[in-house]
Chain A
Amino acid sequence: MIEKIVKLPDYFLFTKPHLDLFISVLRKIYTTKSNEIILDFSGILDMNESDLMILFAQIEKTGYDKKVIFKKRPTLPKARKPNNILSNKIGVFHNSTTNFNSESVEKYADINTEIVDKIVLELKRIGIKDYYSAFYTFLIELIGNATEHGIENRQINWWLINKIDNKTKQINYVFVDMGSGIIGSHKKVGLPFKYYFTSATKILTDAFKGKLRSSTKIDNRGKGLPQLFGFIKNDVVSNFTITTNTVTMHFENDLLVTSKNKNFIGTYYSWSINNDNYIKWKNSKLK
């Protein structure tokens, strides 16, 4: 059996300036013709739990496409943080019907409203005692979008990890689905003619602003991303970033700020919530 060793980079981080290298590793895992892959973690100097989750998601996607992932007992890195992450259990919420086994992963079916409710209730741990209903809607939109568009015909679903920062009383979230990506989904079903020569960045920003019809091509669809955008603009969540296909976008000073990256086939979202978000929502006209 031919095996391929994939060495993970020193800085295995899904953020710039390391993002392109991270995506290259994912592509290497996905495109290799070998039926055994050995992941070499030994040189990692920095990574987060969420980066490991994205790696798991890629491994699952690769396995779904009939390739075999062979995991030898990993050589753990010497650096303390990645060593701890790889050694310990992490809290990952995962919605999947596949049989990817890991102690650190929980698996549920499709749009699991019990899990959405559980994630919202966890906000009590940072002092948000009332039920943050806008966040429930935010999560339903995100998961619904992933399930309906990204991964509809595949047995791969969404992954979410959250981590409390006790110093700032904030919860940081990373959510990923390994579907085609938002731009990829639109291209797959055919964009309106005026978008034929339009950049990927413009396609994504128009999807968020509600200017682009849904990739389902049904007239009443395509409202999920604009609703998410409304929540982002109104500070229901903070530090929102999305990476999908060749575009990374975040919201800063009332503007969508975009940058280019290597093609990430899937959709990655990160955001954070603290008590200020809830207070703003409670006092807002939207509520």
Chain B
Amino acid sequence: MEKFKIKIAEEFSTKPGGRQIKYGPFSGEAFYKELLEKRFDDAIKTNEKLYIYLDGTGSYGSSFLDESFGQLAREKGRDLVINNIVFVTETFDWIVDYIKKEVWGEK
């Protein structure tokens, strides 16, 4: 049972944007502040994992991913984030690879 999850296309936007709020709508910064940080904290408090559903959007840019998932790792600790975020996708395996390798620096 997934107690904590975010379906990005349903809860945030089908068209994610750039890095910061000042550069346009649906930015990585907005996603982090509006949804990701709080939902992650709630999951961690109850020893649960946070499931992120990526499908249903146009796609994601590196700036969006860095300002959301990268920021989460910088704020909460890389290992805590890596061990407690689960990505769910049928179409964005390449985005998951990018987050793990380029944003979180996993080998």
CB-defined A-B contacts under 8 Å, sample of 23? A110-B24, A111-B18, A111-B24, A111-B25, A111-B27, A113-B15, A113-B24, A113-B58, A120-B58, A133-B91, A137-B59, A140-B61, A140-B64, A143-B18, A144-B18, A144-B19, A144-B23, A147-B23, A220-B66, A220-B70, A223-B63, A223-B66, A227-B98
- Among residues of B, the one whose C-beta sits closest to the C-beta of A137 is B59
Task: Evaluate whether A141 and B61 lie within 8 angstroms (CB atoms) in the complex, with A148-B23, A223-B102 already known.
Answer: yes
Question: CA A112 – CA B24 in complex, angstroms?
Answer: 6
- Among residues of B, the one whose C-beta sits closest to the C-beta of A110 is B24
Sorting the interface of chain B by its residue count into under 10, 10 to 19, 20 to 34 or 35 or more gives: 20 to 34
**What A residues does B23 contact at CB under 8 A?**
110-111, 144, 147-148
> Is B74 part of the contact surface with A, judged by Cβ < 8 Å?
yes
Could you tell me if A223 and B62 are in contact, using CB atoms closer than 8 angstroms?
yes
**What A residues does B24 contact at CB under 8 A?**
109-113, 147
- Which of A110, A113, A117, A224 has most B Cβ within 10 Å? A113
Question: CA A220 – CA B71 in complex, angstroms?
Answer: 10
Question: CA A140 – CA B20 in complex, angstroms?
Answer: 13
Mark B residues whose CB is within 8 Å of A.
Answer: 13, 15-20, 22-27, 58-64, 66, 70, 74, 91-94, 98, 102
- Secondary structure of the B side of the interface? loop
Sorting the interface of chain A by its residue count into under 10, 10 to 19, 20 to 34 or 35 or more gives: 20 to 34
Question: CA A134 – CA B91 in complex, angstroms?
Answer: 11
**What B residues does A141 contact at CB under 8 A?**
61-63
Q: Which of B58, B70, B93 contacts A136 (CB 8 A)?
A: B58
- Among residues of B, the one whose C-beta sits closest to the C-beta of A219 is B74
Q: Mark A228-257, 1 if CB is under 8 A from B, else 0.
A: 000000000000000000000000000000
**What B residues does A147 contact at CB under 8 A?**
18, 23-24
Q: Mark A133-155, 1 if CB is under 8 A from B, else 0.
A: 11011001101100110000000
Could you tell me if A220 and B63 are in contact, using CB atoms closer than 8 angstroms?
no
- Secondary structure of the A side of the interface? helix
Could you tell me if B92 and A133 are in contact, using CB atoms closer than 8 angstroms?
yes
Could you tell me if A224 and B26 are in contact, using CB atoms closer than 8 angstroms?
no
New contact pairs (14) apart from A144-B61, A148-B63, CB-CB < 8 Å: A111-B24, A111-B25, A113-B15, A116-B58, A117-B58, A136-B59, A137-B61, A137-B62, A140-B63, A144-B18, A148-B19, A148-B20, A224-B63, A287-B93
A287 to chain B, nearest CB (A): 5
- Among residues of A, the one whose C-beta sits closest to the C-beta of B97 is A286
Could you tell me if B66 and A140 are in contact, using CB atoms closer than 8 angstroms?
no
Question: CA A143 – CA B17 in complex, angstroms?
Answer: 10
- Which of B20, B22, B23, B70 has most A Cβ within 10 Å? B23
Question: CA A220 – CA B63 in complex, angstroms?
Answer: 10
> Is A114 part of the contact surface with B, judged by Cβ < 8 Å?
yes
A113 to chain B, nearest CB (A): 4
- Which of A111, A117, A147 has most B Cβ within 10 Å? A111
> Is A131 part of the contact surface with B, judged by Cβ < 8 Å?
yes
- Among residues of B, the one whose C-beta sits closest to the C-beta of A112 is B24
Q: Which of B16, B18, B59 contacts A148 (CB 8 A)?
A: B18
**What A residues does B17 contact at CB under 8 A?**
111, 113, 140
Question: CA A147 – CA B19 in complex, angstroms?
Answer: 10
- Among residues of B, the one whose C-beta sits closest to the C-beta of A224 is B62
**What A residues does B64 contact at CB under 8 A?**
140
B53 to chain A, nearest CB (A): 15
Q: Which of A116, A143, A144, A224 contacts B15 (CB 8 A)?
A: A116
